[in-house]
Structures are given as C-alpha cells and as structure tokens.
Amino acid sequence: MDPEAIKRSLDGSGLRCTAQRYAVMAFLMDHKRHPTAAEIFKAVNSLDPRSSRATTYNNLRDLVKAGLVREVAVEGRAGRFDLEGLRHHHFICDRCSNVEDVEWYDVPKPASRSLGKRVVRECQLILRGLCAKCAQRASR
C-alpha cells in the first residue's frame, strides 16, 4: 500500500484521514511484525511529539472498528496489530510469543444451525505451537 492507498482506504472507510491515523497506518505497513499498541504509540510519537497516548489508542480503536486494522488477540498479553488489507491467519509461538503470518486458506464455515442469527464476516484462525526457531531449539 502506498501513501495514496492509505488515504483511499481511510476515505473508503468513512474515517477522516488525519495525520495521526495516517501515521498509524503507515507504521503498520512498514512493520509487519505485529506491534503492540505501546510500540505503535512510541513510533507515532517519535515522528510527531504532539500525539498523545490517548489519541493514538483512540485512533487505533477507530481503525479496528472501521475494518482497516486487525487486532490479533493474544491471551494474557497486550494485543498485537496488523493491517487488515492482506488476509492471512496467525501462528503464535507458545515459547517466545512471536506472532507470525500464515498464508490464507479458506476455513469451512460452521453449519448455519449452530450460528443461529449471527452474521459471520470471516473466520480467522490462530495456530499455536512452536515457531521454527523454538522447535529447532527444542529438538536439540
């Protein structure tokens, strides 16, 4: 995504393209290692010291709500964020807690009778286990 694409996706989502939202999106585009909100704030704040923690967190929440940014739930730890643009699943390492992208594949939807009136947007998987590095260490 280039700068124009960031602006377009903000416009398309109905969010005003403020300098801060733009900075959050641009940071996520350049850092695909699933940063936490605190890391995003640090980066945005170092570019523009006027941006407060509260504003950054609010912007992040707006972007998640608008479907531009995804929060990857990691139990017991700070949520990690990435851009919604490219569909992928996630792998979380039990040992080092690294969050890695796994190429997208379609997951069968549950039977409609078990969903009732719920409307499913997507089904996202989180695979867990040992990442390549930790698996190698464990086998030694």
Q: Which residues bind Zn ion (CB under 5 A)?
A: 82, 93, 95-96, 98, 101, 131, 134
Q: Report long-range pairs for 94-102 (Cβ below 8 Å, ≥24 apart).
A: 94/128, 94/129, 94/130, 94/134, 95/130, 95/131, 95/134, 95/138, 96/131, 96/133, 96/134, 98/131, 99/33, 99/34, 99/72, 99/74, 100/131, 101/32, 102/127
Q: In the complex with Zn ion, which residue's Cβ is closer, 18 or 98? A: 98
Q: In the complex with Zn ion, which residue's Cβ is closer, 1 or 17? A: 1
Q: In the complex with Zn ion, which residue's Cβ is closer, 62 or 84? A: 84
Cβ at position 127, least distance to Zn ion in Å = 12
Cβ at position 109, least distance to Zn ion in Å = 21
Cβ at position 39, least distance to Zn ion in Å = 14
Cβ at position 110, least distance to Zn ion in Å = 23
The residues with which 80 forms a beta bridge, in sequence order, are 36, 72
Q: In the complex with Zn ion, which residue's Cβ is closer, 8 or 95? A: 95
Cβ at position 29, least distance to Zn ion in Å = 12
Residue 13 makes CB contacts below 8 A (sequence gap 6+) with 66, 67, 68
Q: Are 33 and 27 in contact (CB under 8 A)?
A: no
Q: In the complex with Zn ion, which residue's Cβ is closer, 36 or 98? A: 98
